A and B are shown apart, each in its own frame.
Chain A
């Protein structure tokens, strides 16, 4: 066999390095001696994560894809930090300073550079003036971060994808951030004007000031550093930090200088070959069919095709369909395909400007030609799949824009997805690659993602990866052992935990952490926030009045006895026993609503009235004025008992459902439990209060008897309850219900609703324990629930007697006089 061919790659960026990886994976080392030149002094890193590095969500060390050792291990010679200065096509040699490397085949993957618009004073001695930066490399990123530490105001020139990501990152440094954009709406390459305007508002809400229609013509400096940018209209903006992000230009000079055909980029054909059959080009520097690409997905395709061809596999590159996602925390934006409709296209759109939502689909011949999803990108995975595959869209377009709320992974047909379909668009990982990694033993999410890199970019494809893992592992998914523990921070299943707590007499959450979690190799110290609320609930159930209540173990709702809302205010739902109210009570509620200018008064789905939008500091006053007990609409506790009118008025009623409902609610109000408890009573089997789909339901039947249903649900899950027993009197109904509730309190996992609990234990077991007393515990259960009922105190009484001086403080005002500077500081 003849000697190996010499393959030289110029550019060790996303395209060059990926191509070499693909080539090595295809046995390329058998055929080629591979040498690479990279301008940057590193191995290869994930450029798209630089936005995260700037924003501080990623550390620089987290973005490396192939460290220097990878090249050694795979026999690839890397000249890191060597810039190629000339290509001699006649002799087939590339020159990089002292180093000269002969080649048989050459791949140019030099990427692009930031475009610098003509701005007076931007450059000094051939370099950017002090304080001005572009945003392209890891070094740029470190330099910007360093400058941001001392600057107060930053201007980003260019309101495209990168400019916005840079601006978002700078906000995190506490700077005043301005985006200056030359045209009349942001991201005009991808977005139509309406979307652009909506985006401006969303970005401004984050704190970035957007200037549109502003052409920057000059930079002013002070002491040699940027002090302001100057606009064509005569205006100016003071800033100490300037990031120029006004587009990119392919690095094609090398190619041009050696006489290769160059248009805007280095011209290549479907074989990715340039005008010289020994020279190929891929990535952002290449121009294919008149198209330049500025995203990674196309260059993954190119790298694969070229690696296939150089190892004598059949392949051609015919262009890529592009889609992208804005990586700006707080603003969801996904864009794919074309921006503007052509005549004959069907345009489906939805806008809700006040919430920053704008969605638009371009449908051409029943297929997706383009889409913009702004403010809510939940539909993106399904649309992307349809777009990538050129699939026929379903008839009901609304389903496309609003994936059904119940499925976390919108209508994605993973089975139908071909092997080579890309699942992770950030790292270009295909379904096939994920499935084969699973088959080769990568059976937990973490191991799988680490091994394939899938899901390690923006993370939006994780639901699909999880689904693929579940399918491909055929039931052998390795799970984290913690799924069997009662809470993640204490390594014990519920029965063992309860035994330990009882044996050691642990009565507070901190005592449990101290005795049972410390020294078990769990992360950072003792108390785990994700475990606190579950432990608090369990201890309260186990110890009743003896429980040592530590307020920090409670979720905010339980600390202030109201439900936190999206804007940080709270909702107040007073208890209305059995849904039966009076004109006086209604009047009082109305008065309170007026007095406190309550933004919304709403009849809930639980037969009660909700006052929404109350600031934390006003809760005590609202409760005092209402003079009604808490409805516990915020806690894992007994919530409501819905009733129907029953025998009192209804012509069909055979049992007094209102009286029973009120008695149930009075007895069990506020009782803590592993999950919420919502009950109902119905006066006859017409079941107007939906009692058969409640945690516990009592349905009156002929002869004054009650059927007791348990484990019903009509929330995220719909399940008809099972009949536990039939009882003769209201008193018996209260007893058996209490017994069931206590058993559930003791045996359910934290957060496990009754439907799951009843299903897990089976109704026959429950009947035998609770009705036939097969374990002889019924009397004990009845006693314990009575004790819990007796321990009940209306939490809203804390409004007038707070457990802590700042319990209801929304903000603690520091008087201006206290703001005087104190010399010294921390010692």
Chain B
């Protein structure tokens, strides 16, 4: 398992998400108002909406295009109306954000 640095945590304002580009593959990182961090695939499985532009609340994000809502921890879509999101472990250390990419296939998978 390897963790990759994304930069200072301030890049993501509280309650919002941002898309990070790791050399051609993208993930969305969210920071809730309670200070929790989550990372998921960058694009919505429905019609590729940019999830980092969604509204974050509780432990969920609502896609900005057609309002499908996803649990950030499990990736599941509320009401099961959409495929689940891939999720990645993400954490902060010394003010820096890190994401864990577990397998090569996960890395591949980011290229949506």
Contact = CB atoms under 8 A, between A and B. Distances in A.
Interface of A: 52, 55-58, 62, 150-152, 168-169, 171-176, 207, 329-330, 459, 489, 510, 523-533, 550-553, 555-556, 559, 564, 566-568, 804-806, 809-814, 816, 818-822, 824-826
Interface in B81-105: 81-84, 86, 89, 91, 98, 100, 103-105
A482 to B, nearest CB: 15
Q: Which of A57, A176, A489, A816 has most chain B Cβ within 10 Å?
A: A57
Contact of A529 (B53, B55, B89): B55
A172 B80 contact: no
A814 B58 contact: no
B112 A529 contact: no
A804 B13 contact: yes
Contacts of B7: 812, 814, 818
A455 B10 CA distance: 44
Q: Which 6 A/B pairs are nearest by Cβ-Cβ distance?
A: A174-B109, A552-B15, A529-B57, A524-B58, A56-B84, A821-B2
B22 A819 contact: yes
18 contacts: A52-B80, A56-B83, A172-B45, A173-B105, A329-B82, A489-B57, A524-B58, A524-B60, A526-B33, A526-B58, A529-B55, A529-B61, A556-B64, A559-B53, A811-B26, A814-B20, A814-B22, A814-B23
A56 B77 CA distance: 9
A812 B2 contact: no
Contacts of B106: 174
Given A330-B45, A552-B13, A822 B2 contact: yes
Contact of A826 (B14, B33, B77, B100): B100
A530 B62 CA distance: 8
How many interface residues does chain B have, given as a range? 35 or more
Contacts of A510: 15, 33
A552 B16 contact: yes
Given A57-B83, A564-B64, A568-B53, A810 B15 contact: no
Given A176-B108, A525-B59, A568-B53, A820 B5 contact: yes
A818 B58 CA distance: 31
Given A524-B58, A529-B62, A556-B54, A329 B83 contact: yes
A775 B17 CA distance: 46
A56 B75 contact: yes
Nearest to B104: A152
B54 to A, nearest CB: 7
Q: Which of A171, A173, A329, A566 has most chain B Cβ within 10 Å?
A: A329
B34 to A, nearest CB: 7
Nearest to B71: A524
B11 A805 contact: yes
Contacts of A813: 20-21
Contacts of B3: 821-822, 824-826
Contact of A523 (B58, B61, B80, B105): B58
A812 B6 contact: yes
Contact of A533 (B20, B22, B55, B61): B55
A529 B69 contact: yes
A489 B12 CA distance: 25
A174 B10 contact: no
Nearest to B85: A172
Contacts of A567: 48
B20 A811 contact: yes
Contact of B18 (A555, A809, A820): A809
Given A55-B84, A811-B19, 6 more contacts: A510-B33, A809-B18, A812-B11, A814-B6, A822-B98, A826-B100
A57 B81 contact: yes
Given A525-B59, A806-B18, A552 B69 contact: no
A137 B98 CA distance: 40
Contact of B1 (A55, A489, A523, A825): A825
A51 to B, nearest CB: 11
A45 to B, nearest CB: 15
B14 A552 contact: yes
A474 B2 CA distance: 61
B38 to A, nearest CB: 13
Given A566-B65, A814-B22, A818-B6, A806 B12 contact: yes
A550 B18 CA distance: 16
A330 to B, nearest CB: 7
Given A530-B62, A564-B65, A553 B108 contact: no
A288 B54 CA distance: 52
A489 B55 CA distance: 14
Nearest to B77: A57
A62 B80 contact: yes
A567 B84 CA distance: 20
A824 B3 CA distance: 7
A819 B108 contact: no
Nearest to B73: A524
Contact of B5 (A525, A566, A822): A822
Contacts of B69: 529
A276 B91 CA distance: 68
B85 to A, nearest CB: 9
A814 B4 contact: yes
Contacts of B23: 814, 816, 819
Contacts of B91: 825-826
A818 B48 contact: no
Given A55-B83, A57-B82, A822-B98, A564 B61 contact: no
Contacts of A810: 19
Contacts of B62: 529-530
A286 to B, nearest CB: 32
Nearest to A172: B83
